[in-house]
Amino acid sequence: MTRVRETLLPPAPPPRRTGGPAGWLRTNLFSGPGNTLTTLVILAGLALLLPPVFRFLVTDAVWSGNSGEACRPEVAGRAVGACWAFVGAKINYLVYGSYPAAERWRPNLFFGLVALGTAWMLWLDAPRRGLGAVFVFLVGPLLSYGLLSGTAVLGLAPVATSLWGGILVTLVVSLVGIVASLPLGILLALGRRSELPVLRYACIGFIEFWRGVPLITVLFMANVMLPLFLPGDLTVDRLVRPLVGIALFASAYMAEVVRGGLQAVPEGQGRAALALGLTRWQAMRLVVLPQALKVVVPGIVNTLIGLFKDTTLVSIVGIADFIRVLEAARADPRWSAPTIPATAYAFAALFYLAVCFSMARYAAFIERRLAAGERGRA
Amino acid sequence: MTAPAVEFRAVNKWFGSAHVLRAVSLTVARSERIVICGPSGSGKSTLIRCVNGLEPYQGGTVRVEGRDLTPARIPSVRRAVGMVFQHFNLFPHLTVLENCTLAPIHGRGIGRRAAEARARDELARLAIADLAARYPGQLSGGQQQRVAIARALCLDPAVMLFDEPTSALDPEMVQEVLDTMTDLAGRGMTMLCVTHEMGFARRVADRVVFMDEGQIVEAAPPEAFFDRPAHPRTRDFLARIL
């Protein structure tokens, strides 16, 4: 027996959602005993944790004052939380370190250059992004160096790097790490996959060496041991030495991230590019590398976040980075009050959290966007 | 007299200790359509990859339009030989149009405008002009393979290699790709197709080549090949796939 449908059914609308906020709560938070318990435990934890934090940071905080007196409970006549007046009074020192006050426009201009370069690179539809890359990886660093340390050509008075400090130094150290480690890491990853044995083993040796030593050792070597090996009249700047160490250290990690991406690109892609008459280098640059880097955006950002936080270690070898000037500032006897240390560390935490969280959010945005661009990719 | 389009002379190749091409000799005249078939692992794909230097070989010579395939000549030979792969190998991070213009712009030094105009012509000829702005991931398998053919044609190849172009396709999409290839054959293109589409072979091929264990067992025009196969292995193979 054959049965034939005479009329085709039109598409039916989807069933109505179990609606309203109450329905959402029921399905997402209290759908079963396990889920309900989890929800309650987490809510209880938040209820325990959040009010004291909020009280410390906002309600009980002291917002203005000229010295540590304002932040003493016996003077204020109430419980005292964070002493934001301290941060307000020290903010110039925290941002510029001992950079001469009259020359602070130079770090400000540098911050402007950084903002410009960042926006140029991160805004995907920006005009002339190729030019932006040249700016970020070549012109920007050179210009910043001339600007901050002073050059006769520009008519700028020299400022010794020992005077640089605070967020300025943290930014310089991490940017040098980022700007150097990306291209270096890519080159190392390509070298590690090269068919030339000498190049390959050189890259493997380099990567494994830098991955195998702790960053703190690298920094000590750079600052304490290196001068012993150099001829007496040859000195390398005290800030530049750890900078080089961090850049090489970070590029080894970056190389491994990029290598993971290269392995994720199917072999047929390179083969197809070669079959079209492109050279090996063009196939790598135009076909394989763009796909590899897209795959490892989360890994790259993860490495960069780690690098940004690792820069605090330079404070141990005497570089006046953000953490170090914060320590110095809170040792000021004029600003001695019970909550000053906690305030300083809370401020540092908020600073690092804000920067790292922005990086993570940007990475998430990039991933979403790439996913949208290649929807249903085979 | 002009040189043949492709000429294999006693080509030998090993993968490690496996002897995958055993003294293969084959001459392909210009505008000739060759279909190569045979069981898997018989060396069909390896053979056509030797034509554009994707596979190195250890003995014998391969000539494309009379030119020996020396390392120095590989780039120029690759530009004269288009290739279509089983898994399409379109570049997923580029649009269809960019897939078609990448090699002309960067490999040939053709201006962007000229390359795009050419690519649009090629896409229009294969009836996929409306896909130019899409990404490969948004296309069906059949459409992807037609884009891959258009991409190869944008370089004006003298020879086209097809490496099992329909094997990765859903059955209902096989025909559109075969139609495109038939159309291409009608334009006088020299073609070497590794395929199991025997209907296509019978209709389009000038010669059908049967390979087994790294050697050419039988090469004959399709009528003779299908109706009067000479070698018992050929008969055996045909009995299994038809």
Contact of A106 with A146, CB cutoff 8 Å: no
The residue of chain A with its CA nearest to that of B152 is A276
Kindly list the residues from chain B whose CB atom is less than 8 angstroms away from the CB atom of residue A375: 135, 137-138
> Under CATH, what is the fold of the domain A164-319?
MetI-like fold (1.10.3720)
Measured CA to CA, the distance from residue A290 to residue B61 in angstroms comes to 36
Per-residue pLDDT of chain A (378 residues; tens, 9 = 90+): 788 888 888 888 877 666 678 888 888 888 888 989 999 999 999 999 999 999 999 988 888 888 888 888 888 888 888 899 999 999 999 999 989 888 899 999 999 988 888 888 777 777 777 788 888 888 888 888 888 888 777 778 888 888 888 999 999 999 999 889 999 999 999 999 988 999 999 999 999 999 999 999 999 888 887 777 777 666 778 888 888 899 999 999 999 999 999 999 999 999 999 999 999 999 999 999 999 988 898 889 899 999 999 999 998 888 889 999 999 998 888 988 888 999 999 999 999 999 999 989 988 888 887 776 655 443
Residue pair A329/A345 in contact by the 8 Å Cβ criterion:
no
By three-state DSSP, how is residue B186 classified? helix
Please report, as a single letter, which amino acid is at residue B29.
A
- Establish if B87 touches chain A: CB-CB under 8 angstroms: yes
- Quote the pLDDT of residue A18: 63
Residue of B nearest to A286 (CA): B102
> How far is it, in rounded angstroms, from Cα A369 to Cα A297?
12
Mapping DSSP to helix (H, G, I), strand (E, B) and coil, where does residue B157 land? coil
A276 contact B CB<8A: yes
Kindly report the backbone phi and psi dihedral angles of residue B4, in degrees, each rounded to the nearest multiple of 5, phi listed first: -65, 155
Positions of chain B with pLDDT under 50: none
Question: Is A276 close to B135, i.e. CB distance below 8 A?
Answer: no
Task: Choose the closest CB to A374 out of B83, B137, B144.
Answer: B137
Distance (Å) of CA B4 to CA A146, A178, A234, B36, B60: 64, 55, 68, 18, 17
- Domain locations in chain A? 60-97+320-378, 102-154, 164-319
A271 touches chain B (CB under 8 A): yes
- In chain B, residues with a C-beta closer than 8 Å to the C-beta of A287 are 91, 102
Residue in B83, B88, B144 nearest the CB of A275:
B83
- Closest residue to A274, CB basis, from B54, B102, B135: B54
Strands across the sheet with B6-15, in order?
Answer: B18-28, B6-15, B59-64, B67-68
Q: Are B51 and B62 in contact (CB under 8 A)?
A: yes
CA distance, residue A242 to nearest chain B CA (Å):
38
Cβ neighbour number for residue A25 with a 10 Å cutoff: 12
Burial A323-358 (b: 16+ CB within 10 A, else e): bbbbebbbeeeebbbebbeebbebbbeebbeebbee
Q: What share of chain B is helix, strand, coil (3-state, %, to 5)?
A: 45, 25, 35
Asked if A272 and B91 come within 8 Å (Cβ–Cβ), the reply is: yes
ipTM: 0.91
The conformation of residue A83, written as its DSSP 8-state character, comes to B
Q: How far is CA A123 from CA A302, A358, A367, B22, B184, in A?
A: 20, 14, 14, 56, 44
pLDDT of residue B2: 78
pLDDT for residue B35: 95
* Residue A221 CA: distances (Å) to CA of A70, A216, A254: 44, 9, 22
Residue B82 and residue B203: Cα distance in Å, rounded?
22
Q: Where are the beta strands (DSSP E) in chain B?
A: 6-15, 18-28, 33-37, 59-64, 67-68, 81-84, 159-163, 190-194, 207-212, 215-220
Residue B210 has what pLDDT? 95
Amino acid code (one letter) for A210 = W
Chain B residues within 8 A of A291 when measuring between CB atoms: 91-93
Cα dist. A113→A133, A149, A155, A357, B187 in Å?
13, 15, 19, 22, 58
Residue A370's closest chain B neighbor by CA? Answer: B93
- Chain B contact probe: residue of A271, A274, A276 with most B CBs at under 10 A: A276
Tokens (6 digits) for B105: 């712009």
* Cα torsion through A229, A233, A238, A243, rounded to 10: -60
Q: What is the pTM of this model?
A: 0.82
Q: How far apart are CA A97 and CA A75, in angstroms?
A: 30
